[in-house]
Structure 1
Amino acid sequence: MPQPSLMTSDLTIRFGGHVAVNQVTCAFHPGETTVIVGPNGAGKTTYFNLISGQLPATSGTVHLGDTDITSMSPSSRARHGIGRAFQLTNLFPQLSVLENIRLAVQARSGAGWGLFRPAHKLTQLKQSAEKYLAAAQLEDKAYMPASALPHGGQRKLEVALLMAMEPKIYMFDEPTAGMSLDQAPAVLDLIAQIKADPDKTVLLVEHKMDVVRALADRIIVLHNGELLADGAPAEVMASQIVRDVYLGSATEETA
Structure 2
Amino acid sequence: MPATPALETRDLTIRFGGHVAVNAVSCAFHPGTLTAIVGPNGAGKTTYFNLISGQLKATAGSVLLRGHDVSGLTASARTKRGMGRAFQLTNLFPNLTVMENVRLAVQSRAGAGLQLLQLWSHRRDLIEKADSLLESVKLLEKRNAMAGALPHGDQRKLEVALLLALEPDVFMFDEPTAGMSVDEVPTVLDLIHGIKARGDKTVLLVEHKMDVVRSLADRIIVLHNGTLVADGEPATVIASPVVQEAYLGISPEAAGQTMGEAAR
Match of 2:197 in 1: 196
Distance 1:126 1:39, change over 3 A: same
3-state SS in 2 of match to 1:229: strand
CA distance in 2, matches of 1:195, 1:30: 8
Match of 1:30 in 2: 31
The question of whether the paired residues in 2 share the 8 Å contact of 1:209 and 1:250 is answered with no
CA distance in 1, matches of 2:199, 2:38: 23
Distance 1:240 1:118, change over 3 A: closer
Query: Deviation per CA, 1:125-165, whole angstroms, max 9, x where unpaired?
Result: 21211121121122211122222322111111110100000
Match of 1:117 in 2: 119
How far off its partner does 1:236 sit? 0.4
Match of 1:17 in 2: 18
The root-mean-square deviation of aligned C-alpha atoms, in Å, is 1.8
- Give unpaired runs (5+ residues) of structure 1: none
How far off its partner does 1:180 sit? 2.1
The question of whether the paired residues in 2 share the 8 Å contact of 1:8 and 1:63 is answered with yes
Structure 2 length-normalised TM:
0.90
Identical amino acids, percent of aligned pairs: 65
Distance 1:250 1:125, change over 3 A: farther
Give the total of aligned pairs.
252
Distance 1:164 1:17, change over 3 A: same
CA distance in 1, matches of 2:136, 2:152: 18
Q: Does 1:157 align with 2:158?
A: yes
Match of 2:46 in 1: 45
Match of 1:206 in 2: 207
CA distance in 2, matches of 1:247, 1:71: 34
How far off its partner does 1:14 sit? 0.8
How far off its partner does 1:119 sit? 4.9
1:39-118 equivalences in 2 (<5 Å) = 39-113=40-114, 117=119
CA distance in 2, matches of 1:118, 1:156: 23
3-state SS in 1 of match to 2:249: helix
Distance 1:179 1:116, change over 3 A: closer
The question of whether the paired residues in 1 share the 8 Å contact of 2:104 and 2:114 is answered with no
3-state SS in 2 of match to 1:89: coil
Distance 1:41 1:119, change over 3 A: closer
4+ runs of 1 displaced by more than 4 Å?
249-252
Distance 1:116 1:44, change over 3 A: closer
CA distance in 1, matches of 2:50, 2:105: 21
3-state SS in 2 of match to 1:248: coil
- Give unpaired runs (5+ residues) of structure 2: 259-264
Query: Deviation per CA, 1:28-47, whole angstroms, max 9, x where unpaired?
Result: 01010000001111110110
Structure 1 length-normalised TM:
0.93
How far off its partner does 1:166 sit? 0.3
3-state SS in 2 of match to 1:193: helix
CA distance in 2, matches of 1:250, 1:31: 32
